[in-house]
Amino acid sequence: QEYVLVKMRVYDECLVGELSPLAGRDVFLAAATLRPETMYGQTNCWALPDGDYGAFEMANGDVMVMCDRAARNLAFQEHTKEPGVVNKLLGFKGTALIGCAVKSPLAVLERIYCLPMMTILMNKGTGVVTSVPSDSPMDFMALSDLKAKPALREKFGVKDEWVMPFEVVPCVHIPEFGDACAPIVCEQLKIKSQNEKVKLEEAKGKTYLKGFTDGIMLLGAHKGEPVKLVKQKIRDIMIADGGAIVYSEPEKQVMSRSG
């Protein structure tokens, strides 16, 4: 499986507390995505509060935050000083990332926050996930839950200002669903929360394929053009600007439960 790793730059003032050993470094949360064309619509990113994460030094001196397994994979993909050797600067739980403000490539919003998501799989991607509630039903429901449930925000120490101001940013038009497919499909399927796994899988199925086959860009350098023709070009723009790298994952690892 080949992902695009989006480098979300952590604002300096967030390198405090548990993250203070990283102060002064160029630190990025690394999110694995299959939908680079939706990056305009990012409203936040996600970490698993109980998940194990680390900060890893890359060949160019950048520090990237992800799970150990992803860092090990990257070390074999020419991103570390020595092939196969991981340089872990710091380890911490996902809770340390909650409330981190980041500047993410292509995102219309200048400053978005890392929030808790319970359904993140640590055996897939990096364990850091970017959130596009306009086009991802899971992201839409997880953000809606945080907005609707003060107790949930309180449980994870999430401040209102990290969540409440953020509305869906439409970035891909799909004739069947309009300018933001995820809220529409969640409504159609009467999905009430992020815990409705079965319905959310159905919603994902409905939106994933249509986004590619029928989607038209609403924002960015390729506004007005079909997703299927420009997806790769948008990926390449991010990579050329240093905002993303390619990350491959062996198929077997994705299947294993061990992480």
Please say whether the beta carbons of 113 and 106 come within 8 A.
no
Q: Kindly tell me which residue out of 54, 99, 116, 125 binds ligand ZZB, with binding defined by CB under 6 A.
A: 125
Site string for ligand ZZB, 130-169 (x = CB under 6 A): x-x--xx---------------------------------
Report in angstroms how near the CB of residue 228 gets to ligand ZZB at its nearest. Answer: 15
- Rounded to the nearest 5 degrees, what angle is found at the Cα of 44, between the Cα atoms of 22 and 208? 125
Residue pair 97/18 in contact by the 8 Å Cβ criterion: no
- Strands 44-47 and 112-116 turn out to be parallel
CB atoms near residue 176 (< 10 Å): 11
The residue (of 8 and 129) whose beta carbon lies closer to ligand ZZB is: 129
- Indicate the residue among 80 and 194 with the shorter CB distance to ligand ZZB: 194
Q: Describe the crossing of helices 227-240 and 197-213 by its angle, rounded to 10 degrees.
A: 90
Nearer to ligand ZZB, 27 or 67 (CB): 67
Nearer to ligand ZZB, 15 or 114 (CB): 114
The DSSP output letter for 241 is T
Residue 159, CA distances (Å) to 100, 127, 152, 164 in order: 11, 22, 11, 9
Residue 5 CA to residue 125 CA, distance in Å, equals 9
Q: Which of 16, 85, 121, 148 binds ligand ZZB (CB under 6 A)?
A: 121
Count of Cβ atoms closer than 10 Å to residue 228 Cβ: 14
Could you say which residues in the range 9-48 bind ligand ZZB, by CB under 6 A? 32-35, 38
Taking the complex as a whole, the smallest distance from the CB of residue 208 to ligand ZZB amounts, in Å, to 4
Give the nearer residue to ligand ZZB in terms of CB position, either 32 or 152.
Answer: 32
In the complex, the smallest distance separating the C-beta of residue 126 from ligand ZZB, rounded to whole angstroms, is 7
Q: Residues 61 to 90: which contact ligand ZZB by CB under 6 A?
A: none
Site residues (vs ligand ZZB, CB under 6 A): 32-35, 38, 120-121, 124-125, 127, 129-130, 132, 135-136, 204, 207-208
